[in-house]
Copies of this chain bind each other. A is one copy, B any other.
Amino acid sequence: MANLDPSREFRLIETIRPLCGDSSDRWEKGIGDDCAVRKVSADPLLLTADTMVENVHFRLDLMSLREVGFKAIAGSVSDVYAMGGTAESIAINLIFPKTEQAEELIEELYRGIHEAVTLFGTPIIGGDMTSGPCWIIAVTVLGDAGSTILYRSGAKPGDSIWVTGTPGLSGLGLDLLLSGGRTSAEYIDSEAVRAHIRPVPRFGSVTWIQQNPQITSMIDISDGVGKELLTIAAESRVGATITLPDSLCVRLDQNRDTTTGIRRAHELFLGGGEDYELLFTASPDFIPRLNGVKCTRIGTITQNENSYFTDADGRSVPLSGGWDHL
Chain A residues packing against B (C-beta within 8 Å): 2-3, 5-7, 10, 28-29, 32-51, 53, 55-57, 79-80, 82-83, 85, 91-93, 95, 125-128, 130-134, 136, 138-143, 145, 149, 151-153, 218-220, 223, 227, 230, 234-235, 320-322
Q: Judge whether B130 and A53 touch: CB under 8 Å.
A: yes
Q: Judge whether A49 and B93 touch: CB under 8 Å.
A: yes
A287, B55: Cα distance in complex, Å: 55
Q: What is the chain B residue whose CB lies nearest that of A149?
A: B37
Q: Judge whether A51 and B128 touch: CB under 8 Å.
A: yes
Q: Judge whether B82 and A34 touch: CB under 8 Å.
A: yes
A92, B46: Cα distance in complex, Å: 15
Q: Judge whether B57 and A2 touch: CB under 8 Å.
A: yes
Cβ distance A184 to chain B, nearest Cβ, rounded Å: 26
Q: Judge whether B138 and A93 touch: CB under 8 Å.
A: yes
Contact flag A322-B5 (CB < 8 Å), given A41-B40, A128-B138, A151-B29? yes
A224, B142: Cα distance in complex, Å: 31
A83, B38: Cα distance in complex, Å: 13
Q: Judge whether B38 and A44 touch: CB under 8 Å.
A: yes
A41, B39: Cα distance in complex, Å: 11
Contact flag A34-B2 (CB < 8 Å), given A44-B28, A92-B49, A93-B50? no
A37, B49: Cα distance in complex, Å: 13
A35: B residues at CB distance < 8 A: 46-48, 79-80, 82-83, 85, 141, 143
Q: What is the chain B residue whose CB lies nearest that of A53?
A: B132
Q: Which of B37, B39, B56 contacts A132 (CB 8 A)?
A: B56
Q: Which of B32, B34, B43, B219 contacts A34 (CB 8 A)?
A: B219
Contact flag A140-B140 (CB < 8 Å), given A3-B56, A79-B34, A93-B50? yes
Q: Judge whether A130 and B34 touch: CB under 8 Å.
A: no
A43, B320: Cα distance in complex, Å: 45
